[in-house]
A and B are shown apart, each in its own frame.
Chain A
Amino acid sequence: MLHESGAFICKIQGIKFSTLFYAEIKMIDSNDKTKSHFIQLRPPSRNTQLLSGVWIGMLFFITIIFPIAAQARDFSKMINCDVHHGTCTQKLQDTDIILDISPKPVKAMTDLKFTITLTGKQGVSEPFIDLGMPGMKMGPNRVLLKSNGKGVYSGTGTIVRCPSGKKIWKATVIVPDMGSVEFIFDVIY
């Protein structure tokens, strides 16, 4: 096709960026034949290259590294309590703190009864339990306990299921004015 000025005109069928630096232009000439031409693009500035690298790195981190890293850490060595087969005991100052969770085996996403027994010195008010996962923020999940007398406190709560598949949970028993102890155990999903 010829323009009035005499210049040859092609119909551009499409432009494809082959790499960061070249573009392929597909054209149809006057004989309806498709031709490809490669043109060199203006090379990106150093800042653009740097930002492209940062951007790709960030995408890679968010989509691949972060989720895998969140699962890769092995917390099983931290387990200090076998809740499935009995009670667990930890010492806080001169007081033994005994944790029991029932029914057994301890399953996530079920109603569980938490019982804390304090032997020796008692706190100024009822102890309570904060449930969470080691190394992962799960939000506040507090089990409030009521006194059954003689240093025994109980309450109901739920250990939720983490879709990452991690099964290691932490029950932090807080005794007001005395401090806290951590029981780390695995649960069944």
Chain B
Amino acid sequence: MSSIEVLYLTFLATGFVVGFGHCIGMCGPIVVSFSLNLKTKGVMAPNLLYHAGRISTYAVLGGVMGATGSFTRITTGIGGLQKGAMVFAGLIIIVMGLGMSGWIPLGQIFGDYCRPEGVIARSFRKLSGIQSTAAFLPLGLVLGLLPCGPVYTALIAAAGLGMETQNTFKAVLSGMGLMTVFGIGTIPSLLMVARLSGMSWLKSREIIYKIGSILMIGVGIYFLIRGLRF
């Protein structure tokens, strides 16, 4: 087995382990929020698309790290984007929670009477009602930029591979491969969370939605504050 294959296996295992130890705490709330927002729809397909988007972003970042061989230069460059992704995650969860609770008639405020063609109106309507399966792919692509310690660690390894590899094309592929296997490793834990929070026979109860929406709003505020302080 070559050293790069060993590294891939190491980061696949790392993704799996940090998934259950780290991602459930840090990214689990996002997955729970999305799954609750899906209401009666199945959660597996949207979640798989979300993870596909997230891993695609990881792969692109890994490729860039491999090509440049520099972790700090790239992360400095995308710092603003990561902050934006975190704030966006907070906002989207708050809006979903408000939409789900039914306390604030977002549809009436932003959709029916108040310039429905307006950017804000359309955005709020879309954000509060993200239930289309296909929407989870771009959501994953954006939220793949969320700042995360283990992702940074994997990116350092991808940059290291780039420094060791003379051929730029190979360096890009190596970096992409490493981030892809790392991302795949994190999927089981987050899918488990999504599956547990998306049990349709319990979600048909209104009270579950009330509690879920309160949790979502709380989580959204938490992400928003973390994003603003990042």
User: Quick one: which of A59, A133, A137, A157 contacts B197, CB cutoff 8 A?
Assistant: A59
B:1-23 near A, CB below 8 Å: 10-11, 14, 17-18, 21-22
Asked if B149 and A163 make an inter-chain contact with CB atoms under 8 angstroms apart, the answer reads: yes
Q: Check B14–A140 contact: CB distance below 8 A.
A: yes
Segment of A25-33, A63-71, A117-125 engaged in the interface with chain B: A63-71
Inter-chain contacts of A66 with B (CB < 8 A): 24-25, 28
Q: Which residues of B contact A161 (CB under 8 A)?
A: 147, 149, 152
Residues of B within 8 A of A (CB): 10-11, 14, 17-18, 21-22, 24-26, 28-29, 32-33, 36, 71-72, 75-76, 86, 146-150, 152-154, 156-157, 182, 193, 196-197, 199, 202, 204-208, 211-212, 215-216, 218-219, 222, 226, 229-230
Known: A51-B202, A64-B218, A139-B154. A19 touches B207 (CB 8 A): yes
Q: Does B202 contact A111, Cβ atoms closer than 8 Å?
A: no
In angstroms, Cα B154 to Cα A20, docked, is 46
Q: Quick one: given A18-B206, A20-B205, A136-B22, are A163 and B32 in contact (CB under 8 Å)?
A: no
For residues 155 through 189 of chain A, which have their beta carbon under 8 Å from a beta carbon of chain B? Answer: 157-158, 160-165
A38 interfacial by beta-carbon distance below 8 Å: no
Once the chains are docked, how many angstroms separate the CA of A160 from the CA of B82? 14
A56 within 8 A of B: yes
Does B196 lie within 8 Å of A55, measured CB to CB? yes
A59-B211, A138-B149 known, 12 other contacts, Cβ within 8 Å: A17-B207, A19-B207, A20-B205, A60-B211, A62-B29, A62-B32, A62-B193, A63-B28, A63-B33, A136-B22, A141-B156, A163-B148
**A1 lies within 8 A of chain B by Cβ:** no
A56–B14 touching, CB < 8 Å = no
Interface bin, chain A: 35 or more
Secondary structure call for the B interface = helix
State the CA gap A62–B198 with chains docked (Å): 14
What separation, in Å, do the CA atoms of A67 and B147 have in the docked complex? 15
Q: Which residues of B contact A111 (CB under 8 A)?
A: 72
The reply to whether A163 and B72 form a contact with Cβ atoms under 8 Å apart is: no
Is B154 a contact partner of A52 (Cβ separation < 8 A)?
Answer: no
A111 to B73, CA, bound (A): 9
Q: Is A150 an interface residue (CB 8 A)?
A: no
Asked if residues A67 and B29 are in contact (CB atoms below 8 Å), the reply is yes
- With beta carbons under 8 angstroms apart, the residue of B33, B36, B86, B212 that contacts A163 is B86
Closest CB in chain A relative to B100 CB, distance in Å: 13
- Binary contact readout A105-148 vs B (1 if CB under 8 angstroms, 0 otherwise): 00001110000000000000000000001001111110000000
Q: Which of B75, B148, B149 has the most CB of A within 10 A?
A: B149
Pairs A-B, 3 closest by C-beta atoms: A17-B206, A160-B152, A139-B153
Distance (whole angstroms) from the CB of B107 to the closest CB of chain A: 15
Q: Is B156 a contact of A63 with CB atoms below 8 Å?
A: no
Is A58 an interface position by the 8 A CB rule? yes
